[in-house]
């Protein structure tokens, strides 16, 4: 999720609990081998054991169609300590698709197989290669062929966003169609898309037959969603299971202050206020208080002004 779930939010959201692993924003691969410095800009966790502050593994995700370059960059990431490599065949963005990346590749199962096989051959056997796909490009007629191609190429797990590229992010997600994908392959299949609350997660699991879900915008809007889902599905243990209830706005306040601290420490000044507004924009989907906060700070640009607002606009931890 380029421009949203970067290392700052990965750090913050994994502190809440319930997350098994994270996938980075996609790294766009064109026609070159990226430097370690460039790769670290997207996945700085690689400098710290490829884990977030809370200890959750982070898998770099590559996006592109140049088979050789995809393989070479995957090999470099493996050398840098990546615990796994994920491949993006699901991004619906027009600029990405226009340049031969993301969901446009779902029109050609053979190229999916070629890319996955090349990446699989380029990284050590103990490092898993996984893939994320949508149900298709304009329609879902090739969904099963694409999944089989990914599996045959060596993908150890397939995440399926339960919509086509043409459907974008418009509700609903077709979780039942993921069940057909799951039946077509032997590797684990993960259901993704339009999971905003526990009820959505339960319906996605029931309709898809999957026992793993991937959360995106839903967890940004509701940071305790992963642990709530674990508790509701009866797969959580210990403190997570006992603390599966939703978080209040007051509970969230320390994380928001931590988010702002990391943003002001690691992001450029011109990005800082915008990132806080971006998170509040999604939080207001679930928290009425976030709407008030968003309205109060939407015109603020200078980090110093946001800092002053944070002292009174967000409850102090």
Catalytic residues: 91
Burial track 177-191 (b if 16+ CB lie within 10 A, e otherwise): bbbbbbebbeeebbb
d(CA 152, CA 143): 14
For 304-308, the CB contacts below 8 A with 24+ separation are 305/273, 306/260, 306/272, 306/273, 306/276, 307/260, 307/264
CA atoms 277, 281, 283, 287: torsion sign:
positive
CA nearest neighbour of 139 among 177, 112, 171: 177
d(CA 12, CA 201): 22
Q: Give SS3 for 147.
A: helix
Sequence-distant (≥ 6) Cβ neighbours of residue 133 within 8 angstroms? 89, 90, 103, 106, 112, 143, 146, 147, 150, 158, 159, 160, 161
- Reading the block at residue 73, the tokens are 């960059």
DSSP 13-43: HHTTS--S-EEEEEEE--SSPPPHHHHHHH-
d(CA 280, CA 163): 26
Strand-pairing partners, residue 63, are 28
d(CA 229, CA 102): 28
Parallel, antiparallel, or unpaired for β 85-89 and 189-192?
unpaired
């Amino acid at each position: 999720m380029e421009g949203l779930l970067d290392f700052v939010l990965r750090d913050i959201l994994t502190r809440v609990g319930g997350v098994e692993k994270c996938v980075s924003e996609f790294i766009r691969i064109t026609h070159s081998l990226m430097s370690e410095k460039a790769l670290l800009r997207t996945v700085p966790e690689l400098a710290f054991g490829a884990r977030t502050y809370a200890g959750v593994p982070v898998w770099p995700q590559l996006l592109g169609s140049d088979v050789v370059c995809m393989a070479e960059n995957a090999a470099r990431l493996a050398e840098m300590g990546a615990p796994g490599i994920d491949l993006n065949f699901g991004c619906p963005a027009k600029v990405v698709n226009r340049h031969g990346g993301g969901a446009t590749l779902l029109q050609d199962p053979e190229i999916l197989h070629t890319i996955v096989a090349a990446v699989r051959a380029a990284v050590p056997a103990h490092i898993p290669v996984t893939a994320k796909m949508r149900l298709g490009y304009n329609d879902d007629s090739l969904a099963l062929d694409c999944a089989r191609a990914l599996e045959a190429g060596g993908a150890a797990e397939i995440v399926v966003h339960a919509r086509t590229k043409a459907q974008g992010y418009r509700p609903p997600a077709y979780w039942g169609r993921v069940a057909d994908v799951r039946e077509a392959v032997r590797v684990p299949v993960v259901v993704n898309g339009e999971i905003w609350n526990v009820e959505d997660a339960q319906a996605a699991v029931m309709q898809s037959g999957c026992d793993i879900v991937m959360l995106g915008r839903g967890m940004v809007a509701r940071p305790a969603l992963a642990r709530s889902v674990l508790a509701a599905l009866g797969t959580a243990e210990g403190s997570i299971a006992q603390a599966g209830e939703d978080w209040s706005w007051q509970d969230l306040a320390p994380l928001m202050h931590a988010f702002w601290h990391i943003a002001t420490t690691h992001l450029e000044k011109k990005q800082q206020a915008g990132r806080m507004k971006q998170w509040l924009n999604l939080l207001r989907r679930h928290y009425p208080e976030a709407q008030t906060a968003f309205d109060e700070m939407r015109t603020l640009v200078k980090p110093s002004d946001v800092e002053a607002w944070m002292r009174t606009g967000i409850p102090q931890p």
